Amino acid sequence: MNITIQELEISGVLFALLPTHTDQRGWLCETFRPDWFARLPLTVPQPAMSYISATLPGQTRGPHEHRNQTDIFVFFGSTIFLVYLWDNRPASKTYKKHLRLSIGEEKPGLVIVPAGVVHAYKNIGTCPGFVLNQPDRLYRSWNKNEPPDEIRYEDDPASPFKTD
- Whole-prediction pTM: 0.94
Q: Is 152's pLDDT higher than 90?
A: yes
What is the pLDDT at residue 57?
96
- SS3 assignment for the chain: CCCCCEECCCCCCEEEECCCEEECCEEECCCCCHHHHCCCCCCCCCCCCCEEEEECCCCEEEEEECCCCCEEEEEECCCEEEEEEEECCCCCCCCCCEEEEEEECCECEEEEECCCEEEEEEECCCCCEEEEECCCCCCCCHHHCCCCCCEECCCCCCCCCCCC
Superfamily of domain 6-20+51-152: Jelly Rolls (2.60.120.10)
Average pLDDT over residues 86-95: 98
pLDDT tens track for 42-74? 888 999 999 999 999 999 999 999 999 999 999
Domain boundaries, the chain: 6-20+51-152
pLDDT tens track for 3-48? 899 999 999 999 999 998 999 999 899 999 999 988 888 888 999 9
